[in-house]
Amino acid sequence: MADLLMQNWWALAWRGAVAILFAGAAFLMPENALVTLVLLFAIYLIVDGAFAIIAGLRASARGRRRALIAEGVVGIAVGLIMALWPQLSLLFFVEVAAIWAIVSGAILLIAAVGQPSDNAKWLLVAGGGLSLLWGVVVLFRPMAGVVIWAWWIGAYALIFGAVMLAVSVRARRGLP
């Protein structure tokens, strides 16, 4: 597993960097530009999904390969739906993002469960748990204001991005 992470550290770094860039945009988004936020989130989902698929295709463990590819396909599909119909997506943005986070988090947790204890297992659990928790909280608080919503999604993306960057740095250095 450590060898696999060391070889693919760049994909994790890109996932983290894109998440952090998205977080910055979400924090700076004005109240009247929620459609732009929907489109930015769609782009983030598509890019994140592509990197999840790349990581899955390069994974050596069959269970992890399937889980990461499934996570990537779900992210790309949701991102494409949101990009093609941003006005309609705006109506369902909160629910779609929450459901995506729940599914993505559950898949990451499933991918982590079957892995031996190594340098990235706890980070996969943290990323999956964060996604799952964030999705559940947002699903039950859909009427949050636009600014609060942007902060929530920005905070989620910032923390998730930091976790992915931490995994990539540790993998690049070959640290446990």
pLDDT of amino acid 32: 46
| Average pLDDT along the chain, 176 residues, taken 10 residues at a time | 67 86 76 69 92 86 82 94 82 77 89 73 86 84 63 84 88 74
User: d(Cα 94, Cα 55) in Å, to the nearest integer?
Assistant: 28
Whether the full predicted model's pTM is greater than 0.75, yes or no, is: no
Q: What confidence score (pLDDT) does residue 66 get?
A: 87
Instruction: Please tell me the total count of domains within the chain.
Output: 1
Closest CA to 66 of 77, 55, 75, 76: 55
Q: Which residues form the domain of 101? A: 2-173
pLDDT at 28: 79
Confidence at residue 129, expressed as pLDDT on a 0 to 100 scale: 92
Length of the chain counted residue by residue: 176
What letters, b where the CB count within 10 A reaches 16 and e where it falls short, cover 102-139?
A: bbbbbbbbbbbeeeeeebbbebbbbbbebbbebbeebe
Determine the pLDDT at residue 146: 55
Maximum C-alpha span of the chain: 47
